[in-house]
Amino acid sequence: MLIYKILLPAEWASFEANGRFDGSPLDLRDGYIHCSSRDQVAGTAQRYFGTEPDLVVVAIDAQTMGMWLRWEASGNGLFPHVYAPLPRAAVVAVHRIAGASSVDEVVPS
């Protein structure tokens, strides 16, 4: 199973350089890394990144996160939350997109 993390291009550059992602300011504030399922990722992109011209959506192998991954209620559904840094080795695909409206066109079903 794949889960998805939406990143700004600078966050992705840091992720690649460091080999891990410790979280965005929102993630750090909340104490976990916010992710989305395939069915949730487009809505998350629109809601939180709607004005960003460029995004990077990384697909993460959920199994690699083991006990650090929890599905928790948020809004009207269960969302994947990761309670540890994301290792670069867990990323199985990288999708560079031109804005939130492009998520469904680029991230495979």
pLDDT of the residue at 51: 92
Q: Residue 109: pLDDT band by 50, 70, 90 thresholds? A: low
Average pLDDT over residues 34-58: 94
Does the predicted TM-score (pTM) go above 0.85? yes
Q: What is the mean pLDDT of residues 3-18?
A: 97
Q: What is the pLDDT of residue 101?
A: 84
Number of neighbours of residue 47 by Cβ within 10 angstroms = 11
Q: Please state the length of the chain.
A: 109
pLDDT, average across residues 23-47: 95
Q: Where are the domains of the chain?
A: 2-104
- Quick check: 14 and 21 in contact, CB under 8 A? yes
Contacts of residue 18, Cβ cutoff 8 Å, sequence gap at least 6: none
Whether the predicted pLDDT of 47 surpasses 80:
yes
Residue 52 confidence (pLDDT): 93
Best CATH choice for the domain 2-104 from the list 3.20.170.20, 1.10.287.3510, 3.90.800.10, 3.10.20.30? 3.20.170.20
